[in-house]
Structures are given as C-alpha cells and as structure tokens.
Amino acid sequence: MSAPAPEQALDTLVETLRKDDSVISPHVHDAQDSPALGLLAAAGPRTAATGSDYALLVESIREGYLLHYGRPRVVDASDRDLALLAGDYLYARGLERLAALRDLEAVRELSDLISLAAQVHAGGNGAGSEPLWLATVVAVAAGGGERHAGAKAALREERPGAARELLDSAHSAATSAGIVGALTAAADSVGLALPADPSGIG
C-alpha cells in the first residue's frame, strides 16, 4: 500500500491518533483545514523523496503547538490540562518520526522552533512565532544556512526586526528552491502575507 499523499497529512494524523488508543483518542475529531505547512515541508529538495513523512511530522508538531498556544484543528482543547498533555505528546511524536528519518538537521530546526516559540509566547508576542514557523519549515524543506541562523539568533535575543529577518530568509531560501508558491500558501494559512519585496516586511 502506498503512503498517504502529503495533502492527506491532517487526515492521517487524525487516523493515527484514534488508533493510538491513548487518553487523547476520544478527543480527536476530523480535520477541516489544509495542511499548508506540511505541504511546504514536503515540497523542498531535502524532503521530496519522503514528503508524506515530513508533512505528517510537521503537522503533528504544529498541532502540538496549537494545543499549547492557539486553536488546534483535530484535538478538542476544552480541557486545558488535557490540551497541554496532548500538545507535549504531539511534539514528542513529531520529533520521534523525524529522528526515525535520521535527519539531524531537521531535528535541530524543529527543536529550536519549539523552544523559541515558547520564548516568544512567554514574552507576550505570540504573533511573532508565525514567521519562525515559516522560516523553520522552509529550512527543513530546503536547508537553512547562515542567514536563517542569524534570523533565529535575532529572535532569541529579542532584537527589533527579527520577524522581518525570518521572513526574508524564508523567502530567499524558498525562491532558490523553487517553492515560493508553497511558502505563500503556508503564509496565508497562518495569517501572514508575503509582499512582493520581502525586504519590506515589518
């Protein structure tokens, strides 16, 4: 049987969580959203050979993040304690899947994402985590590099303009990899618009 397509990442996540028969399973519901970040993760040259795996693990980690900080898409978060437990569980499942792919660079990127997102939210600027998500997923799909590392350092040090640096680095890397369309769709899914000139991002 062939692997589910990247476009089915959220449906696959729902099916997997229901089959886990864990404390979370009764609280899982069908997905209505598009797995735009997973599709971005699957689109790049680093990930294309196993795109379905990358789409699923990125969407798992994204759902974990949303259980902690936002509006989850497939897990009922009405019980806050359960939501935090489920979020940690999905973080771990996503990173476990990534480790099985032996992609240490992507493990570092997504581990950094989880810790930096927590820092950003603790500082009261949750919206600042979305540029980080886009830049990280592009780095997983197409590779990071010094520009991306510098942008993450700017965010870690809470320097002004860190969000712009992250989006600039994401746009540059996506352009080089030929995945700007996937980046644009992912940006739209998290409520961001990429201007024609990425240097103009505030």
Range of the domain at 118: 6-200
| 115 is a domain residue | yes
Q: In 3D, which of 165, 103, 163, 109 has the Cα closest to residue 137?
A: 109
Q: pTM higher than 0.85, yes or no?
A: yes
Mark 47-71 as b/e (b = at least 16 C-beta within 10 Å).
Answer: beeebbbbbbbbbbbbbbbbbbebe
| 184 is a domain residue | yes
Strand, coil or helix: 31: coil
- Tens-digit pLDDT profile for residues 91-110: 999 999 999 999 999 999 99
| 32 is a domain residue | yes
pLDDT at 84: 95
- Quote the DSSP letter at residue 4: P
Distance from C-alpha of 94 to C-alpha of 14, rounded to nearest angstrom: 14
pLDDT at 83: 94
| 143 is a domain residue | yes
| 138 is a domain residue | yes
Is 87's pLDDT higher than 70?
yes
- Tens-digit pLDDT profile for residues 9-31: 999 999 999 998 888 899 999 99
| 13 is a domain residue | yes
Is 50's pLDDT higher than 60?
yes
Distance from C-alpha of 129 to C-alpha of 107, rounded to nearest angstrom: 18
The mean pLDDT of 156-185, rounded to a whole number, is: 94
The mean pLDDT of 53-67, rounded to a whole number, is: 97
How far from the centroid of its chain's Cα atoms is residue 55's Cα? 9
| 142 is a domain residue | yes
Number of domains in the chain: 1
Is 199's pLDDT higher than 80?
no
Residue 48, token pair as written in the block? 């294309």
| 1 is a domain residue | no
pLDDT at 143: 95
Q: Are 17 and 74 in contact (CB under 8 A)?
A: yes
pLDDT at 1: 39
pLDDT at 193: 81
